[in-house]
Amino acid sequence: MSIFGSLKDKVTQYIEVYIKFFKLNFMGSTAKLLSYVMFTLICMFIVFITMLLMGLGILEGFVEMGLSRVGASFATMGVFVLILGIVFGLRNNITNFFAGTFLKILTEDHEEDDDKKENAKDK
């Protein structure tokens, strides 16, 4: 009976350690993913402000060229629609780039863990 009790204690201890390891790994991955989300939100805010100020600069440039303020506004809108059309035309390349980046980020730690396990087995 003591052999089965000892075996039960070892299995229970292994499961507890495995659960703790899983929780730590999950928290680390979640924290890393959330940090990238926050970084992306900050970058989106900076891009928004840049586009806003660039639009005002283009507007003033068209006004200086002799267009009325309304005409310059429509010309600026045309520039942004042109940029939007270019981005929409390149959407497959852009989405493939981001998908590859996200996959690399999400699998980065697991590859390092696998390498460490392989190195430990070799020793």
Name the least confident of 46-50, 64-68, 77-81, 97-101.
97-101
Mean pLDDT for the stretch of residues 67-94: 89
pLDDT for residue 98 is more than 60: yes
pLDDT for residue 113 is more than 80: no
CA distance 106 to 47: 25
User: What local confidence, expressed as pLDDT, does residue 123 receive?
Assistant: 55
CA distance 104 to 32: 12
Quickly state the pLDDT bin for 109 (edges 50, 70, 90). Answer: low
State pLDDT tens for residues 2-60.
777 788 888 889 999 999 888 888 887 788 778 878 888 898 999 999 999 999 999 99
User: What local confidence, expressed as pLDDT, does residue 108 receive?
Assistant: 73
User: What local confidence, expressed as pLDDT, does residue 45 receive?
Assistant: 93
Assigned token pair, 84 = 């939007």
